[in-house]
Amino acid sequence: MKSTFSLLFGGISFEHEISIISAITIKNILKENIRHFIFLDSSHRFYLIPHELMKADFFAQKGYEKCKQLHLCQNGFQTTGIFKTSITPECIINLIHGADGEDGSLAAMLDFYHIPFIGPRMEACILSFNKAYTKALCKERDIAILDYEVITPNKKPSLPLPLILKPARLGSSIGINIIKDQKDLNYGLDCAFEYDDCVLAEPFISGIKEYNLAGFKANGEYYFSTIEEPQKTEILDFDKKYLDFSRDSKAVEANLAEDLKTTMQDYFKKIYEGTFEGALIRCDFFIHQDKVYLNEINPIPGSLAHYLFQDFYKCLNLLANSLPKKRKIYIDYTYINKIKKAK
Amino acid sequence: MKSTFSLLFGGISFEHEISIISAITIKNILKENIRHFIFLDSSHRFYLIPHELMKADFFAQKGYEKCKQLHLCQNGFQTTGIFKTSITPECIINLIHGADGEDGSLAAMLDFYHIPFIGPRMEACILSFNKAYTKALCKERDIAILDYEVITPNKKPSLPLPLILKPARLGSSIGINIIKDQKDLNYGLDCAFEYDDCVLAEPFISGIKEYNLAGFKANGEYYFSTIEEPQKTEILDFDKKYLDFSRDSKAVEANLAEDLKTTMQDYFKKIYEGTFEGALIRCDFFIHQDKVYLNEINPIPGSLAHYLFQDFYKCLNLLANSLPKKRKIYIDYTYINKIKKAK
């Protein structure tokens, strides 16, 4: 069954602008298969954006404020005001990176209002949004990870330098610093704590190889993307990531031994299974001394990592037709009726 | 500062009816300090319930359908229809047990709409709603727990009998069975899998002592309740729990050695700190051979375990004035403006 999609983007997040770039990129790929562009502004208001206005500058100029405002209702959205129009998306694509989108808020709301969507469910969000929980999840599921330490404001890292410090709940390299010298440690901690009360310290391994693998599960089967070795400096910075998300060429398959590829795919399945159903995710791996380590899970990767897939629309279609269903709960007031009878 | 409260109850949950009983119980305690009763029905519609209609039978008869319907908006609710009335709660008490309330959905929505509330935040919900994550969290934070095993439909438990089987994501003893004989194992598994794809197996220790301790953190300090040894049969069943939640007498302090009490309070702090801020929770402990084990976290205990506190209204007031704040995120389109300039 061929689906049409409605893109949800923006959000109160440090990655608000990345989300706009993602949406514009996906617009150029899915073209007429997109029915609605739904923008969430910096005050948590939803707007319906006409196709022809989907340009970065339009948002920076706050042009959206003149668009139709929407509010959530069962099965979709409704315009506000006296004469209401209903919007019933066939399938939303949650493209809100960072807070709101990846922290579980919108997953909760879309589920609550019974709106079908591609994206991580609430539980998957919580476990991947906080890097400390991702580490714990990997340990539970026997997935190799680099050593790490959870740092709180009154605790210094005990791992030896060089270190990499990351706020636990932020993507896109924001607040991340590499500490090679003891004298830079306090600065690095200050940077990270500016964004989160919880910071992760990891050993920094110079020249470590990084690989990205995206994928999803549909109809009981796993679909994997090309494995790419992203171009990078020591940290892929904010600007570089922007450009990366908006690119339109296909990725080149990394030159990797078969067993390492298989390990990455196995780790991907272990992390995805039972948790990320409904989402197209990207896992970022390290290879160090011929061993694979899971680095991070991107439950809503920039522009959904479309450039890693040969037929991206087909992938979204498979996923849209295989979204997880919630169990029905029937409420019949058995207990209250029973005590009433007993009286 | 003295607060007024708005009770949010109902929800699509196996504990829908318990939530109604909880709300009626809290009404009788907080009396004129309650401003609104907001009911969430079995189709996810919100209703404003007049004080005088707060009777169990009224809900069983679907009387609420004639009440004013509400929808969420920034800072509160609005009546639907052309002539809108706004409802701006000073502080919501999330009294929705089980799904919707304890799974993070309503926490996400109340936060999204900037409505102050007492109750677990999204992350706290995910970590306590799924008993498997609670176990993992305890391990991370050095809290003693009984042995356990996560069972999926194609895996049998390997722990020896007698066992207790529990659906991972359900409260109020629903779907729980004690398996003493091998021949009952399949039945027990079927019962549990009816409610969840993920089931927990734990050793069943006959006659193990159980203790309940509730508490919360406000203004940087912990406030603990009386520790109670609940009256129970082997499993505190659904009916028994109902009656327990609606009782109005104060609990009696359990006869326990000081060091065991201190361990319970220490475990409580370890589990709460950094995760459950904003909530009044109840932790259920076991004592076996003079050692304390954390059994379960109730992030929204039945009738908020009011009977464990000497001055319940004072507790709620302390908590209402010390709710966690989200960090501000400013969106100023720096990046988009920068690329525009560069063009």
> Is residue A222 within 8 angstroms of chain B, CB to CB?
no
Burial zone of B96 (CB within 10 Å; 0-12 exposed, 13-18 middle, 19+ buried)? buried
| Residue A298 near residue A282, CB atoms below 8 Å | yes
Note whether A299 and A118 are within 8 A (CB).
Answer: no
Q: What is the pLDDT of residues B231-262, one digit of tens each?
A: 765 554 556 655 666 676 788 899 999 999 99
Alpha carbons B338 and B343: distance in angstroms, whole number = 9
Model confidence at A27, pLDDT cuts 50, 70, 90, reads very high
How high is the mean pLDDT of chain A? Answer: 92
DSSP string, B142-188: T------EEE-TT----SPSSEEEEETT--TTTT-EEE-SGGGHHHH
B75 — contact with chain A (CB < 8 Å)? no
Neighbouring-strand partners of residue A51: none
Query: Distance of CA A164 to CAs A131, A157, A160, A173, A291, Å?
Result: 13, 11, 11, 11, 20
Q: Which of residues 291 through 330 in chain A touch B, CB cutoff 8 A?
A: 327, 329-330
For A182, the 3-state DSSP assignment is helix
Q: Which of A40, A41, A75, A336 to mutate to test the interface with B (most CBs of B within 10 A)?
A: A336
Which residues on chain B are in Cβ contact (under 8 Å) with A337? Answer: 60
The pLDDT, as a whole number, for residue A2 is 82
pLDDT band of residue A327 (cuts 50, 70, 90) is: confident
Q: Give just the sign of the alpha carbon dihedral A320, A326, A330, A336.
A: negative
Strand ranges in B249-302 using DSSP code E only, listed in sequence order? 281-288, 291-298
- Whether the CB of A249 is below 8 Å from some CB of chain B: the reply is no
Residue A228 has pLDDT above 70, yes or no: yes
Nearest CA among A123, A149, A172, A45 for reference residue A279: A123
**Partner-chain contact B329 A71, CB within 8 Å:** no
Rounded CA-CA distance A254/A76 in Å is: 41
Cβ pair B57:A336 closer than 8 A: yes
| Per-residue pLDDT reduced to its tens digit, B75-123 | 999 998 777 899 999 999 999 999 999 999 999 999 999 999 999 999 9
Helix and strand totals (H; E) in chain B = 10, 16
Neighbours of A28 (CB within 10 A): 12
Spatial separation of the C-alpha atoms in residues A74 and A113, rounded to whole Å: 5
Cα A317 to Cα A1: distance, rounded to the nearest angstrom: 8
Percent of chain B at pLDDT exceeding 90: 80
Helices (H) and strands (E) in chain A, counts: 10, 16
Arch. (CATH architecture) of A149-203? 2-Layer Sandwich (3.30)
Cα dist from B233 to B175, B236, B237, B240, whole Å: 16, 6, 8, 9
How many whole angstroms from its chain centre is CA B252? 23
The domain locations on chain B are 5-118, 126-144+207-320, 149-203
Q: Does domain A126-144+207-320 have CATH number 3.30.450.20?
A: no
Q: Collect all residues with Cβ–Cβ distance below 8 Å to B205 and sequence separation of at least 6.
A: B146, B286, B288
CA-CA distance, B3 to B320, in Å (whole number)?
7
Q: Beta A86-87 vs A76-79: how paired, if at all?
A: antiparallel
Tell me the ipTM for this assembly. Answer: 0.92
C-beta atoms surrounding A204 within 10 Å: 19
What's the confidence (pLDDT) of residue B328?
87
Q: Is A194 on the interface with B (CB under 8 A)?
A: no
Question: Which residues from B are below 8 Å from A105, CB to CB?
Answer: 108-109, 111-112, 122
Give tens-digit pLDDT for A177-188: 999 999 999 999
If you ran DSSP here, which 8-state letter would residue A169 be given? Answer: T
Is B337 an 8 Å CB contact of chain A? Answer: yes
CATH 3.40.50.20 matches B5-118: yes
Confirm whether A126-144+207-320 and A149-203 share one CATH topology. no
pLDDT at A237: 57
